[in-house]
Amino acid sequence: RVAVIGGGVSGLSAAYLLQKNADDAGGGPKSVKAQSAPSTPSCGAVTLFEASTKLGGHALTQYSSTAKCDVDLGFQVFNLTTYPHLVGLFGELGVESEPSDMSFSLSTGDVEWGSIGLKGVFAQKSNAMSGRFLNMIREILRFGREAPEVLAPERASEFADVSLGEYLKARKYSAFFQESYVVPMCAAIWSCSDDDAMAFPVRTLVRFWVNHHLLNIIERPLWRVVSGRSSAYVDAVERELKDVRKGAYVTKVYRVAGGVSVTFKTEDAKGKVQESTEVFDDVVFACHSDQALQILGKAASEEEVSALSAVKYQENDVYLHTDETMMPRNKDAWASWNCLRGDRLGIPAEEAANRSVCVTYWVNLLQNLAPGTKDLFVTLNPPREPKAGSVEHKVTLAHPLFNKAAIAAQEEIKALQGKDRVWFCGAWCGYGFHEDGIKSAVDCVDKMLGKSSVPWMPRSCDPKLSMSTKMVLPLFQRACVGWLPADKRLRMILPDGSERLMMGKEANASSETITMTVFNQRLFMQTILRADIGLGECYMNGDFDVDLIGFMDMICKGHPAASGAETESCKPKMRLDPVGLLTEAVNWVGAQMEMAAHKALSNTKEGSRKNIEYHYDAGNEFYKLFLDDTMLYSSAIHGAIDDAAMSAQYLKIDAMIARAGIKPGDRVLEIGCGWGTCAIRMASEKNCHVTGLTLSHEQHAEATARVKAAGLSHLIDIVICDYRDVQGTFDKVVSIEMLEAVGHEHLPTFFGTVHRVLKPGGRAAIQVITMPDGRYESYCNSESDFIRAYIFPGGHLPSVGAMKSASPRGLVLEGYDDIGLHYAVTLRLWRERMMHHAQRILSMGYSRKFLRMFEFYFAYCEAAFANKLIYDLQMTW
């Protein structure tokens, strides 16, 4: 049992990660259970304690009667470049975001300027003629060039103990630059006083500015806000947790034999306070460091006291209001962040330098309030209360201050993690922001579990779109539009945080929209050049995230064959304009390259062995995590469309037994016996003799063991043998989804073998995934695809016509049924089971790239079957 104390971003993240890993180790709900597999380090029950009756901490959402919607008062913005874990968490939770604005303005007694265009910079007309103001602009550029010098490794000792104020003085930056740019910017970012900002260690501060691209004048990452406000992600996390104790104020934590004791107080509906104590295996302090120290009390070690007491906090009053006097006087200077200084505070300069910064957030611009909404503001530490009647809400929030002692304490805490089962995390372990809070939770849980705990891929995007990206992006957008169904939309968030919206020809603002977040710019060229192979490869590499099955379903619905418009085409045609023609040309070049690579993987005897081993020798333990106990890697027949029972697989086998007309005493050849379940079913149900063929050593070992365990070794022989080499004759031949590994040029050999080994009057039952006859020629000759490139090298879907043409005289197709819609359900179940066990799969040594490859493969095929672009036929010959 693990107790997490504190329901802010760090506590929510730590509890979420611990819960996810506990669920994975426990096997999960019935609908996603597969076979048992080796256990991994995990925790059991997770309990989250929060003193307040509301989770979130600084993720503080408040309803505004002015805006008639929720607004955020604490955490508000993030970007794709410097918030990789937060973006990953949002993606995991399905939390949507939208573009925001991070402009800045300063208002003093004699100077006002804003960063929204030249109109904002020169909102005060005298700025254009002011020597000190124009010099400030020059010094902003100079600071951007020079400041990174403090990060040079060879100069680390030179700047190790230098504060921002000392650095600016040594480099002779003007007082106006300091007072009108650097200091208010730092104070606004960290919600601290001017003096505290000037005391920041310069190396730490410049590293932060560099990481956040704040020294760049252009091509900074674009900022975003949570579409449903921060409560959207807080509520989403809470729904995932099983034991949340809101209104539970932890008063004492102390170590006991074999665990940690947690004492907490709660209050019932009548106001009666009750004190309780529970013992946990581990405790995670996800609150402020001073709160952790207070709770530990005398039980804190000397090292804990030293580290936790080193971090100081600044309390800041936060008002939600409508008083415009808390903004720059000149409305042209208004921005998202507005810092008031000097005479605007109405207090002496000496006192102002020691007080917390006064900054007003213009909520309408920052959080995208509806047009026409009365101006709404959030102000930190106003010099006076906003006008009477304008205040909607007031709260006090504490922010950590970062000086040399606090930075040193961050290193000390790392050495204390897990000592006597006590752990620490919080935004104070980093720069004090939401990303720091999540990262500290990730580091804490990773160390506790001894493995990577995150189900997402943390990726930092380059906010600078390259020239090649800017050239190929229109081609990518054109291709996307070509694949979109008429009534659908694709919303794409680019690595710099900007967005593109692509619409079907009949789509409107209310149409179904799929959101794709792009993390790496290579997606665009790879997809144009290599179609679905490039798209799938980029997904494997984590270059983009999307609701994968929703996206695949949308693409399949946009396929020409799905609409019936062009049944012989494998892809939509581009408009005959320069962009469309260039898109077609680039794709044609890539298609020829991929097709040549595929044809090099011919299924000769040696080629077949290598191609089969590539896929099936990935490891039986991996397949056990998403297949059921039958270990059947082919479509089931589901009695009910959501039936996840093993009986669905047996229905499939029984249907094949009936097609073949297997009787007691028959000699049956199974070409492609997999892990042996079909052979066992045939022998046990019909008392027939079965010879099963496989080319996979992993499958041979597992199937042989299963046959022996079933007590059927006298009826079943599992052999490693190519179908071309089989000897003898048989009454029946059964083959379930093996024919896809034969290849077009070897179809005559396969059917010739079936005809050769069948006794006169014998029958064959073959289940095979097929391509429609109308698209078969294009499929064979035009281009390869993701499945043939990555999943089944040498794989090939035959068509009914191709199989009939390849069959020798005397082997006649009698009939078939399509179970493709059932395959879509089977694939969904496989995908859900596999992704439920994602952390376990990674802990077994498989890479995240391997996991995402299978996820893409399952979704790709599920959507294709669901939209009847391919079929799964049970055939009788």
Predicted confidence (pLDDT) at residue 575 exceeds the cutoff of 80:
no
Predicted confidence (pLDDT) at residue 566 exceeds the cutoff of 70:
no
Q: Is the CB of residue 224 less than 8 Å from the CB of residue 97?
A: yes
By the 10 Å C-beta count (0-12 exposed, 13-18 middle, 19+ buried), 146 is classed as: middle
CA-CA distance, 754 to 877, in Å (whole number)?
10
Per-residue pLDDT band at 38 (split at 50, 70, 90) = very low
**pLDDT number for residue 387:** 95
Which pLDDT tens digit goes with each residue over 306-326?
999 999 999 999 999 999 999
Residue spans of alpha helices (H) in 245-316: 289-296, 302-309
Q: Which amino acid, one-letter code, is at 578?
A: P
**pLDDT number for residue 565:** 42
Per-residue pLDDT band at 220 (split at 50, 70, 90) = confident
Architecture of domain 2-65+226-312+403-449: 3-Layer(bba) Sandwich (3.50)
Structure tokens, 710: 């079933």
CA-CA distance, 619 to 698, in Å (whole number)?
7
Predicted confidence (pLDDT) at residue 498 exceeds the cutoff of 60:
yes
Distances (CA, A) of 468 to 459, 465, 544, 560: 21, 8, 18, 30
**Mean per-residue pLDDT, 820-826:** 95
Structure tokens, 723: 């179908």
Predicted confidence (pLDDT) at residue 436 exceeds the cutoff of 70:
yes
CA-CA distance, 94 to 70, in Å (whole number)?
19
Predicted confidence (pLDDT) at residue 570 exceeds the cutoff of 60:
no
Match 């990481």 to its residue by tokens: 211
Express as a percent the part of the chain with pLDDT over 90: 72
Per-residue pLDDT band at 522 (split at 50, 70, 90) = very high
Pairing of strands 377-380, 358-362: antiparallel
**pLDDT number for residue 567:** 58
- Selecting among 444, 461, 480, 861, the annotated active-site residue is 861
Window from 227-236, 595-604, 645-654, 687-696 with minimum mean pLDDT: 595-604
Q: Looking at beta carbons, which pairs linking 598-604 to residues 24 or more positions away fall under 8 Å?
A: 598/784, 598/788, 598/789, 598/794, 601/788, 601/793, 601/794, 602/743, 602/745, 602/746, 602/794, 603/741, 603/742, 603/743, 603/746, 603/794, 603/796
- Considering the four listed CATH numbers 3.40.1160.10, 3.40.50.150, 3.30.590.10, 3.40.50.2300, the one that applies to the domain covering 605-618+646-819+870-876 is 3.40.50.150
Which pLDDT tens digit goes with each residue over 18-27?
999 887 665 4
Q: Is the CB of residue 690 less than 8 Å from the CB of residue 668?
A: yes
CB atoms within 10 A of CB 462: 17
Per-residue pLDDT band at 87 (split at 50, 70, 90) = very high
**pLDDT number for residue 675:** 93
**Mean per-residue pLDDT, 348-369:** 85
Q: Which residues contact 222 (CB under 8 A, 6 or more apart)?
A: 79, 99, 100, 463, 496, 497, 498
**pLDDT number for residue 213:** 81
Per-residue pLDDT band at 36 (split at 50, 70, 90) = very low
Predicted confidence (pLDDT) at residue 525 exceeds the cutoff of 70:
yes
Window from 159-168, 176-185, 215-224, 408-417 with minimum mean pLDDT: 215-224
Predicted confidence (pLDDT) at residue 794 exceeds the cutoff of 80:
no
Q: Is the CB of residue 734 less than 8 Å from the CB of residue 765?
A: yes
Predicted confidence (pLDDT) at residue 659 exceeds the cutoff of 80:
yes
The conformational region for residue 340 under phi > 0 = left, psi -120 to 50 = alpha, else beta, is beta
Distances (CA, A) of 832 to 20, 144, 213, 531, 822: 15, 48, 39, 26, 16
Predicted confidence (pLDDT) at residue 837 exceeds the cutoff of 60:
yes
Predicted confidence (pLDDT) at residue 192 exceeds the cutoff of 80:
yes
**Mean per-residue pLDDT, 760-772:** 96
Which pLDDT tens digit goes with each residue over 674-716?
999 999 999 999 999 999 999 988 899 999 999 999 999 999 9
861 as an active site residue: the answer is yes
Window from 351-365, 396-410, 621-635, 753-767 with minimum mean pLDDT: 351-365
Tell me the β-bridge partners of 518.
544
Per-residue pLDDT band at 345 (split at 50, 70, 90) = confident
CA-CA distance, 273 to 182, in Å (whole number)?
49
Per-residue pLDDT band at 462 (split at 50, 70, 90) = confident
Which pLDDT tens digit goes with each residue over 594-626?
555 545 555 555 554 454 444 445 678 899 999
Predicted confidence (pLDDT) at residue 28 exceeds the cutoff of 70:
no
**Mean per-residue pLDDT, 416-440:** 95
CA-CA distance, 125 to 29, in Å (whole number)?
66
In three-state secondary structure terms, 89 is: helix
**Mean per-residue pLDDT, 234-243:** 97
Predicted confidence (pLDDT) at residue 32 exceeds the cutoff of 70:
no
Predicted confidence (pLDDT) at residue 39 exceeds the cutoff of 60:
no
Distances (CA, A) of 34 to 318, 638, 652, 702: 51, 17, 19, 17
Predicted confidence (pLDDT) at residue 791 exceeds the cutoff of 90:
no
Predicted confidence (pLDDT) at residue 645 exceeds the cutoff of 50:
yes
- 859: DSSP letter: H
Per domain, the residue ranges of the chain are 2-65+226-312+403-449, 104-222+323-389, 467-596, 605-618+646-819+870-876
Distances (CA, A) of 355 to 181, 352, 394: 18, 5, 19
* Number of residues in the chain: 877
Mean pLDDT of the chain: 89
DSSP string, 676-726: SHHHHHHHHHH--EEEEEES-HHHHHHHHHHHHHTT-TTTEEEEE--GGG-
Compute CA 497 distance to the chain's CA centroid, rounded to the nearest angstrom. Answer: 16
Q: Of 498, 489, 490, whose CA–CA distance to 469 is shortest? A: 498
44 against 543, higher pLDDT? 543
Task: Report how many helices (DSSP H) and strands (DSSP E) the chain contains, helices first.
Answer: 34, 31
Predicted confidence (pLDDT) at residue 373 exceeds the cutoff of 50:
yes
**pLDDT number for residue 701:** 94
Express as a percent the part of the chain with pLDDT over 70: 89
**Mean per-residue pLDDT, 550-573:** 74
Predicted confidence (pLDDT) at residue 440 exceeds the cutoff of 90:
yes
11's enclosing H/E stretch is: helix 9-26
Structure tokens, 467: 């020239």
**Mean per-residue pLDDT, 244-250:** 97
**pLDDT number for residue 578:** 61
